[in-house]
Amino acid sequence: MSEFTTADKIAAYLGGGLVVFGVVGIGVLEIVWGSPHPVSSEGQIEHGALIPLEIRSYIIIVGLVIWAGYAVYKVVATSPDPGPTGTA
């Protein structure tokens, strides 16, 4: 049975968790208690939002940076399993 390593867990749970929290979690909070969308179609920030747009963006950005950092870490610091990957 294949399982996540510690690095995998950080990328999957912390990185993915921040992306999902920023997009979905805060989205649910906003639609119930805040503003259903963070900007107008003209790009004007909706100030009725519970979580300022900038903070919400940075939460998602940190999640994506963790994902990207994990990808770079895998290439730089680890070696692939030497077994076959498939056949052409």
Partner 1 sequence: MATSIETRLLGRNVSFRVSGPWLAYWLVTLRLAVGWWFLHAGLDKFLAWPFDAGWFVGGAAAGTSLGPLMGPFSDGVGLAVVNVMIPLGQTLIGLGVIVGGLTRLAAFFGALLMAFFYFVNGETGGWAHGLVTGELLGLLIFAMVATLGAGRVLGVDAYLQRLSLFSGDSKLRWLIG
Site of interaction with partner 1 (CB under 8 A)? 1-4, 13, 22-23, 27, 36-43, 53-54, 56-58, 60-61, 64, 67-68, 71, 74-75, 79-82, 85-88
Shortest distance, position 87 Cβ to partner 1, whole Å = 7
Nearer to partner 1, 6 or 43 (CB): 43
* Residue nearer to partner 1 on the CB measure, 7 or 58: 58
Q: How far is the CB of 81 from partner 1 (least distance, A)?
A: 8
Nearest to partner 1 of 6, 40 (CB atom): 40
- What is the closest distance, in whole angstroms, from the C-beta atom of residue 57 to partner 1 in the complex? 4
d(CA 10, CA 69): 10
> In sequence order, what are the beta bridge partners of 45?
39
Distance (Å) of CA 20 to CA 13, 34, 58: 10, 18, 13
Contact 17, 67 (CB under 8 A): no
The size of the chain, in residues, is 88
DSSP state letter for 41: T
